[in-house]
Amino acid sequence: MELLSAAAGTAKSRACVNCSRAKAKCISQSDDLSSQQCARCFRLKKDCIVEPRATRKKRAPNARGTAELESKIESLVKLLSATQDTDLGHAEDYRVSGNLQVNLPRVGNVRNGPAGEISPSEHTSMLARGEKSLDMLQALLVYASWSHCFAALLPQDQSTGIIQLVLALVNDLALNRGVRYKGDTGVLLLEAERRIFSGDRRNPRVGERSLDECRALLYAFYLSSTFSTCVRKTDGLQFSDKTDYCCKILKDAAECEADLILVVCARFQSIADSVYRALPHRLSNSDGRNAPLWMHTSHLKNEMQSIFINLSSDLQNHLITRLSYHSAEIFLIDAALLEARNEQMFNSRWLDLRWDCLTSGKSLLDAFLTLPSSAYAAIPIPNLSQVSFCLMNLFKLAFVEDPGWDLIYVRDVIKLGSYFELFAFRLEQVGAAIDSAQNTPTIESFPTACARAMAWVKGWYDAKVASGASASEAERAFPRQPIPMEESSSDMVNNNTFGYMDETYWEELLADFNYLPM
C-alpha cells in the first residue's frame, strides 16, 4: 500500500482511517518515508491504514447542453458581425417647421392626441397591477393639471378622481413620510435635516429625498390644496413637517426659477390650508374662549407679506407667485368675514377687511390679464381655480349689504362686468381658433364653453345691477335647484366640457356664499 505523506512534522495529504474517524490531524512520524504509521497510530499502537482514492467516472457528454452552448456562440458571432456591418454615421436631424412650432400648442386640439389615454393606463397600472413609481405620479400631476382641456367629462367629475389617485400614489411612494438614512435606521427627520444642511448634499450614502421627489410632493400638495380651498370638491394633502422639509431641500438646491416658485407657492398655500382646516371647528364651537379669527388671519397675512418681501424682484413679479399670494390672501380675509357674519359682528374693522379683499381680488385679476390670449387655451387647474375663486368673492362683494358698505361705490370700483367681458372676449378668440382647426366636428373646446358661460354670467350681473339687486335677492334668484332661464338651459349647457365656469356651477356658488369644506 502506498503511503501519501508530507515532510516530517507536517500533516499528510490524506489522513488514515483512524485519524479520519477521530477527526484528528494525521501527521507523519519522521523523514523516513518507509514508515507506514502516522504519529498518532504509532503512539496508540494501531494499524495505520490509508484508503485509496475513489476513482470517479467521467461524465458522459450532454448533447443538449452542447447544442445550447453552440447556439449562444453562433448568436454572439452574428451580433458582432451585424454590428461591424452597420453604418454608424450621424443620423439626419429631425426638423419641425417654424409655423408648426408656433401654432401647434395654441390652436391644436389636444383631445385628438394621446393625452386622453393617460388616465385609463394609469388606472389599470395602479389598481389592477399594483404598479407605483415616481414617473407615474409625475404623469398624473400633469394629467390632473390640464385634464379639462381634453377630458370628455366635466372637470369636477373627473379631476376629483384624478386627484384622489395622486394622493393615493403619494402615500404608496411614502413621499409624505419621514426620511431615514441608509445604514442608520434610527436617524429621524430632524437629524436628517442637520446632516444634509451641514454636510455634503451629494453624499451617495445619504438616503435623502431627491429633487424630483420634492417637486412631486410639493406640487401634489399645491394642486390638491388649491383645488380644495378654491373649488371645495375634495380635501387635499395637509402641509406637514415632511412637506416643509422638501421645501427646504428644493430651495437649497434649486436648479431653475420654477423650483423657487413652487416652494413659494407651497408656502402661501400652506397658510391658507391651515385656516381652511380650522374654520369648520371654529364656526361650530364659537364659545368665546378663542381669539377672533381676524386676529389669526392678520398674523398670517403679515407672515405672507414677510415671505413675499424677502423674494427677489423676479419672483415677486412672476405671475404664478402673484396669483398664489393674492389667492391665499383673499381666502384668509373671506374666512375672517365668514366668522364675523355668523356672529353678526360688523364694524369698521370688517369694512377694512372687505376692502382688502376687494383690492387683492382686483390685483389678482389684473395680473392674470397680463397673459397673452394664446395662453388661455391651456390654463392649469390651480390658476383656473384661483381666478374662479377670486371672481366669486368679487361677485359677493358687489351684492353684500352691510352697514357702511356702499354698493354703488363698490361696484364702480370693482367693474366686474368689464372683467367678465374681457375674459369672454379673449376666451372666445382662442376657442374659435381651436374649433376651426378641428378636422371633424367634435365637442366644443374649453375656451369656447368658458367664454359662453362668462357672457351668460355678465348678462345676469348687469341685469341685477341695473335693477339694484342685493345679496339676498341674488340668493333667491339662484337657488340650488336649476331655475328656468330666458333661453333654454339645455342649449347653453350641451357640449360644455368646462365645469368651473358653466351655468350650473355659477348657480350653485351664487346660492352658497361661503367656502367651507364639503
pTM to 2 decimal places? 0.63
Instruction: State which residues of the chain have pLDDT below 70.
Output: 1-12, 31-35, 83-130, 150-159, 178-208, 232-233, 280-291, 339-347, 439-443, 468-518
Q: Is the dihedral of CA 459, 465, 469, 474 positive or negative?
A: positive
- Work out the end-to-end distance of the chain between its first and last CA atoms, rounded to an integer number of angstroms: 97
d(CA 346, CA 351): 8
Q: Are 448 and 424 in contact (CB under 8 A)?
A: no
> Which residue in this structure is represented by grid cell 372687505?
354
Q: Are 214 and 250 in contact (CB under 8 A)?
A: yes
Extents of the domains making up the chain: 1-52, 122-173+209-510
Q: What is the DSSP letter of 237?
A: P
d(CA 163, CA 381): 11
Q: Is the dihedral of CA 156, 157, 159, 161 positive or negative?
A: positive
Alpha carbon separation from 18 to 28, 36, 49 (Å, rounded): 14, 13, 8
d(CA 438, CA 458): 29
d(CA 301, CA 323): 15
Q: What is the DSSP letter of 127?
A: I
What DSSP assignment string belongs to 265-311? Answer: HHHHHHHHHHHHHHHHHHHH---S-SPPHHHHHHHHHHHHHHHHHTS
Query: What pLDDT does residue 64 have?
Result: 78
The identity of residue 172, as a single letter, is D
> Which residues, at least 6 apart from 421, have a Cβ–Cβ distance to it below 8 Å?
458
Query: What pLDDT does residue 356 have?
Result: 87
d(CA 507, CA 501): 10
Instruction: Count CB atoms within 10 A of the CB of residue 6.
Output: 13
Query: What pLDDT does residue 132 have?
Result: 77
d(CA 156, CA 318): 28
